[in-house]
Structure formats: C-alpha cells, structure tokens
Amino acid sequence: DADVTQTPRNRITKTGKRIMLECSQTKGHDRMYWYRQDPGLGLRLIYYSFDVKDINKGEISDGYSVSRQAQAKFSLSLESAIPNQTALYFCATSDLNRDAGELFFGEGSRLTVL
C-alpha cells in the first residue's frame, strides 16, 4: 500500500459543484501539502499544514480550502469548481524532524471541471 494515498484518483465534475480531494498518510509525518500541476508546468503550492492546528496558504489558495482532520489526513476542497481548476493535484508529506524534510508525494488526483 502507498504511504501517501489520494482519493479519488480521477474525477470529472461540472462547473459550480463542490469537490473534495482527500489525502491520507501512514508515514507518521506532521507536515502535509497540497500542490496543483497544470500540463507542462511545474507544481504550485496551494496550502500546507505543519500540524493539526496549523493551516497556511501557499501560492495559489484562492478558490480552495483545506481541512486537517487528523495528523494523517489533509483534505482539499473546491467550494464551487470552475474549468480553470482542471489540473493534476498532488498531496505530499514531510517529516518535522528531518533537516529540510524530504517530500513524499501521493499518486495524484486528476480533476476535470466541465
């Protein structure tokens, strides 16, 4: 089983729908991140969390919200999806106790907004 699991892996939805992408991890890491990747481009940070009570905006947080339900779970929500949120979304984790902690990524969630 993957250490960082994202669900769903693929989702097609319509404009205006609420969508939640879920991430769970078995690595015991405190830090979790959500990234977005558009075709041919690099990853952009949406939100990150260093522990259950800590939530921070990244580069492109507008139109997104997150919830850190537990150390192991970090969900990304699109309250009202729009077509330009069509992208590949990645969740990642890192270990608080490692210098410049290595990021461990999930397999990605491909979201299409029609």
Partner 1 sequence: LAKTTQPISMDSYEGQEVNITCSHNNIATNDYITWYQQFPSQGPRFIIQGYKTKVTNEVASLFIPADRKSSTLSLPRVSLSDTAVYYCLVGDGNNDMRFGAGTRLTVKP
Of the two residues 15 and 26, which places its CB atom closer to partner 1 in the complex? Answer: 26
Q: Would you tell me which residues interact with partner 1 (CB under 8 A)?
A: 4, 31, 33, 35, 41-45, 48, 56, 58-59, 88, 90, 92, 94, 96, 98-108, 110
Q: Which of 57, 72, 68 is nearest to 5 (CA)?
A: 72
Of the two residues 17 and 95, which places its CB atom closer to partner 1 in the complex? Answer: 95
CA angle 72, 47, 60 (to 5 degrees): 155
Query: Is 60 buried (19+), middle (13-18) or exposed (0-12) by CB count in 10 A?
Result: middle
Q: How far is the CB of 48 from partner 1 (least distance, A)?
A: 6
Q: How far is the CB of 66 from partner 1 (least distance, A)?
A: 13
Of the two residues 16 and 51, which places its CB atom closer to partner 1 in the complex? Answer: 51
Q: Which of 37, 59, 56, 55 is nearest to 46 (CA)?
A: 59
Q: Kindly state the helix (H) or strand (E) to which residue 106 belongs, with its residue range.
A: none
Q: How far is the CB of 67 from partner 1 (least distance, A)?
A: 18
